[in-house]
Structure 1
């Protein structure tokens, strides 16, 4: 029992077929700033305005302590009773505060607009690139990994613009301006303050490595925890059947405790780091107060200068602390950028030629030739070797065989999800590799065993969100395949909104809508991949009628799980281990008493058994 659970968890980690997980291509490391900078060109004007607003906002903030210094030294300490001048200083102070607020608001909004535009563009580019990758890539890459790229990695870029870039720009300039103001007030006291910079740098570097390690440890343990939960949710039926709830709960507790400890360590390190800076800030203020106080008492500097220095020292530590705290976010963004560009660097195995052949779809007859093709998913392990098959225009061909016989591989090659290693596949004598993939997929229509429906209306799902196809064309297509009565019974008819994958519809209703798609897009070649495998007999009869309707005037290839689906086909191909071992009509193949007859007798036996069980 324990071994069964372990094997199930291993299968989930390595893929349903077992074996080692596929190696991802190692991305070429490039500077994250250089990559993101390549997108900043079109926002050059916006970033210039951000810089201007930042300078004005910082200047407004740093001039406020200087105004207080003027009020103290030139008026209060001098004994002047010029209340008008103090009122003017107060008015300027208020104006600077308002200016700081306005320009900080503008700076944040401009930066976020430019940053979010760049992130949105990268996310769009990433999604479009993923949709262009070959099926061989999806065979080796988990959906979870791709979702992480589109969601988590782009969110890391989002945080870069929300937090890191703003901190580096604003707080970096703030540090420079504070040092300038310090030396402007008193160069000697400024030099004393500079003596603390090496200590600040030492603390920042020492904590940076420690904080990075604790951050990575927490993220790793969180990933393991999430992966464990996902595994258990996927195999909940197995856990309950083998009564493994308690054992799995113990394993979850171990991972949860490990994540808890890593989180506590991360929080402790951040608190220690922040408080170290607070302590250093207070010690520096005490040091400046002592040195400056002696200078004030000795009449070397004025009291207002000391006040301004203490204020600037307080402000000095805030940006240093903020910049250091953003180190982990900066690292995450750097890793995310290189992960995204590692994916963008992957080139599809199947690409259109530089000058593809353009043909008129209206003139396509639908003749198909597999000319001694050799193909394998892995090099050195061919699934097919020297297969030769010729289908005349308008012919209905059924393909049968056990799992792994090569039926679906044959169809995938015709749709050019993969390319043959040897030989060629031709439509009307034209090699499909010379055609644009867009043209090929309008010529060849595919109806799969589990038709995919998107979140949207029935109208949009039938016409695949192509606004150039009218509502009337969709309705006529549904009427043609017999789906119209079913749609009319729905609450909103053709405007009924479907959930993701069309979960509100039965398997037969989803299949009828997929047939309606075929009528709307009018491919010259129709492929049905186990289209009636999971249907009851009554629904299968309805689908059979739709099949007869959509196959008229088209070359049709039917991969059959139920042999009743292809008994009326013009020709039936029997595949075994990647080769065609028998061919003929249903009656001819039965007369041969070969492999097809075994499959047929086996299917009839299953049917008889099902009917017998139903009658009990």
Structure 2
């Protein structure tokens, strides 16, 4: 993320009204999309439904057996011990049946839920990885972490708790109503008066609870984003002694999240206790009405006993469902947020197969760049020969390009540049001249607003991105190393690249001696970002990473800016060899890095103001001469 964008995000977060949740999402469409993940498991869900029905019937028939034992045996004065023993045996079988089928139902449903959530989490991560750089400029990393971790976990709880409750408790409620009407229709009708009351309470709470849960999720996302931002910039925080200020800001966000959680808990308790009161009043009402009927001999005592048991069980599934209401609301918000990400298409996309084939036709200069005919899928795991890299000459044309990150603030305007195959180009200029933006456009991290960029006559927009990024090797100023061994960091976890190739690449750039001094050599495990290595050592490993992939175009973006003179000399020696027969673009503040380049271009305000060899530019006495004199500690002129 560019610094200006990070500041903008922080300011936007601070200005946002903390009491207002995100805009009202499209819940229905999100859950409709989720149903597509459920469809492949329809037969397993049918098995869950069958097990649930058997388990519920096994449980609900138990009070009915007690009714038979009371009315048809004990109160009837039969004292039929054999019949009572049979009822006990059936009761025991029903209990075992309820246990077994509930166990099967839970396991099958959890297997379905975990499979769906695992697939969604994987696809979400993959979708984020496909987004263009502009998306990460606009979206904080903390927010994305929340989506991949917290939101998918909320979805996991939906399958673990909510879906199970809807299956089991929903059917239980329906069967209880049937059993109550079968026992006594009059008492059942009295109980049905409760349903509209329950419905009205649920409607009254629904909107308020949704806002409450969404508010808590929004404040959690903002807090996580703030933590991620501070961890990334911890060096800056400590250098400027901003710990107290950052603690104050975190305390403010933590307090907002704390209050949102308390509001969520209060809402949930109030909702649950309302149904508890309703349950107790219903039992008292049934006992009073049914007791009068029993005393008047209009109702059997066994029926009243079974009915009271059923009315108690009637509120158990309702209570369970209401206890899951907050989980359902959290899952609803999470699903909508996840599908909002899925609905965001990358700004930079490959053309379809037909467009790629048409772009592979002979270009204006009569060349046929065979490499461009391969699809992205064919690139994955393909060898250099299979992709036709041998036919790439490395000619690059920037044809009257214009670009801006934000509308109305041009970064590059009307730039023309032709780079011959195998030519080494040095790019210099003051900060903000557009040097790194030029490289980002060539790598197609962004698309030009006007004009085109061509490699061997083919527009980069017609080349699959996977192939383009194999054609171009980029070494950045701040190399990123992953947690893992040095071998895996050099080959980027691509097991098709042998260990021997990795060692040769490290020897080539002069990193071998450094690596072998480490405790485990090439198997040494690095911490996040390779914090156990110096900046120069990380850069050498990053440079070896590029060498091992054998790009046809090599780009160094301020790659030697943080290196000491000895390490810079190692990079210079390696660069002089690897740049042979490769088109090389070197962006540098240190002019010593590019003094031997075939051509040096000087950029200012998104335009090329000077170009030529080092000696030619010195004799010209323009901006390059000023930069050179400044680098030598002399006064310009």
Provide TM-score, normalisation by structure 1.
0.89
Query: How far, CA to CA, are the matches of 1:340 and 1:110 in structure 2?
Result: 25
**Which residue in 1 is equivalent to 2:337?**
339
**8 Å contact 1:446–1:526 — kept in the other structure?**
yes
Q: 1:374 aligns with which of 402, 415, 436?
A: 402
| Residues 464 and 32 (structure 1), Cα distance of their counterparts in 2 relative to 1, 3 Å cut | same
**Which residue in 1 is equivalent to 2:611?**
583
**8 Å contact 1:27–1:343 — kept in the other structure?**
no
**Which residue in 2 is equivalent to 1:88?**
86
**8 Å contact 2:402–2:448 — kept in the other structure?**
yes
Query: How far, CA to CA, are the matches of 2:515 and 2:12 in structure 1?
Result: 38
Q: 2:151 aligns with which of 143, 150, 153?
A: 153
Report deviation, 1:500. Answer: 2.0
Query: How far, CA to CA, are the matches of 2:624 and 2:5 in structure 1?
Result: 35
Q: How does 1:148-227 map to 2 (within 5 A)?
A: 148-216=146-214, 218-219=216-217
Report deviation, 1:176. Answer: 0.5
| Residues 389 and 230 (structure 1), Cα distance of their counterparts in 2 relative to 1, 3 Å cut | closer
**Which residue in 1 is equivalent to 2:346?**
348
**Which residue in 1 is equivalent to 2:377?**
none
Query: How far, CA to CA, are the matches of 1:272 and 1:340 in structure 2?
Result: 29
Report deviation, 1:25. Answer: 11
Query: How far, CA to CA, are the matches of 2:37 and 2:477 in structure 1?
Result: 43
Count of aligned positions: 596
Query: How far, CA to CA, are the matches of 1:243 and 1:538 in structure 2?
Result: 33
Report deviation, 1:415. Answer: 0.9
Report deviation, 1:68. Answer: 1.2
Deviations 1:318-374 (A, max 9, x none): 111222333332222222222222222222222222232351211212121212222
**Which residue in 1 is equivalent to 2:384?**
none
The answer on 1:476 being equivalent to 2:474 is no
**Which residue in 1 is equivalent to 2:10?**
13
Report deviation, 1:466. Answer: 1.4
Query: How far, CA to CA, are the matches of 2:421 and 2:248 in structure 1?
Result: 62
Q: 1:387 aligns with which of 395, 412, 415?
A: 415
SS of the counterpart of 2:554?
A: strand
**8 Å contact 2:143–2:222 — kept in the other structure?**
no
Deviations 1:14-61 (A, max 9, x none): 489x99xxxx99976643432221111111111101111111111111
**8 Å contact 1:149–1:340 — kept in the other structure?**
yes
**Which residue in 2 is equivalent to 1:614?**
none
Query: How far, CA to CA, are the matches of 2:181 and 2:79 in structure 1?
Result: 30
| Residues 267 and 432 (structure 1), Cα distance of their counterparts in 2 relative to 1, 3 Å cut | closer
Larger displacement relative to structure 2 (247-256 or 130-139): 247-256
**8 Å contact 2:558–2:587 — kept in the other structure?**
yes
Query: How far, CA to CA, are the matches of 1:439 and 1:233 in structure 2?
Result: 34
Query: How far, CA to CA, are the matches of 2:244 and 2:5 in structure 1?
Result: 17
Q: 1:50 aligns with which of 48, 51, 58?
A: 48
**8 Å contact 2:5–2:138 — kept in the other structure?**
no
Larger displacement relative to structure 2 (118-127 or 214-223): 214-223
Deviations 1:146-170 (A, max 9, x none): 2222222222211211122111121
Query: How far, CA to CA, are the matches of 2:230 and 2:169 in structure 1?
Result: 46
Query: How far, CA to CA, are the matches of 1:458 and 1:547 in structure 2?
Result: 21
**8 Å contact 1:566–1:572 — kept in the other structure?**
yes
| Residues 234 and 271 (structure 1), Cα distance of their counterparts in 2 relative to 1, 3 Å cut | same
| Residues 481 and 279 (structure 1), Cα distance of their counterparts in 2 relative to 1, 3 Å cut | same
SS of the counterpart of 2:401?
A: strand
Q: 1:562 aligns with which of 569, 580, 590?
A: 590
Report deviation, 1:206. Answer: 3.3
The answer on 1:426 being equivalent to 2:424 is no
SS of the counterpart of 2:632?
A: helix
Q: 2:551 aligns with which of 498, 503, 523?
A: 523
The answer on 1:601 being equivalent to 2:598 is no
**Which residue in 1 is equivalent to 2:38?**
40
Query: How far, CA to CA, are the matches of 1:124 and 1:505 in structure 2?
Result: 31
**Which residue in 2 is equivalent to 1:404?**
432
